[in-house]
Amino acid sequence: MAFQTSVATQQSPGIEGGFCGANPIFTLTNPDEGMWVAGSAGVTIGQFAWANTANGQVSSAHPGVATVRYGFVHRDQPAVITGLLSGTSNLVVAGQGIDLLEDGPVWARFAAGATIGHKVYMSYADGSVVSAVTGAAATVTRSVTTTNASTTISYTGGAIYAGQPVSGTGIPAGAYIVSVNATAGTAVLSAAATASGTVTGTFTTNYETAWSVRSTAGNGELAKISVRG
Beta bridge pairs of residue 186: 154, 181
The amino acid occupying position 138 is A
Strand bridging mode 221-226 / 106-110? antiparallel
The pLDDT tens digits of the residues spanning 39-79 come to 999 999 999 999 999 999 999 999 999 999 999 999 988 76
* Exposure on the CB side of residue 75, measured as CA atoms within 13 A: 15
Domain positions in the chain are: 26-134+208-224, 139-204
CB 205 within 8 A of CB 140: yes
Spatial distance between the Cα atoms of 223 and 26, rounded to a whole number of angstroms: 19
Q: Tens of pLDDT along 109-141?
A: 999 999 999 999 999 999 999 999 999 999 999
Q: Are 119 and 56 in contact (CB under 8 A)?
A: no
Is pLDDT of 101 > 80? Answer: yes
- Which band of pLDDT confidence, cut at 50, 70 and 90, is reported for residue 178? very high
Per-residue pLDDT at 1 exceeds 60 = no
What is the pLDDT at residue 31? 84
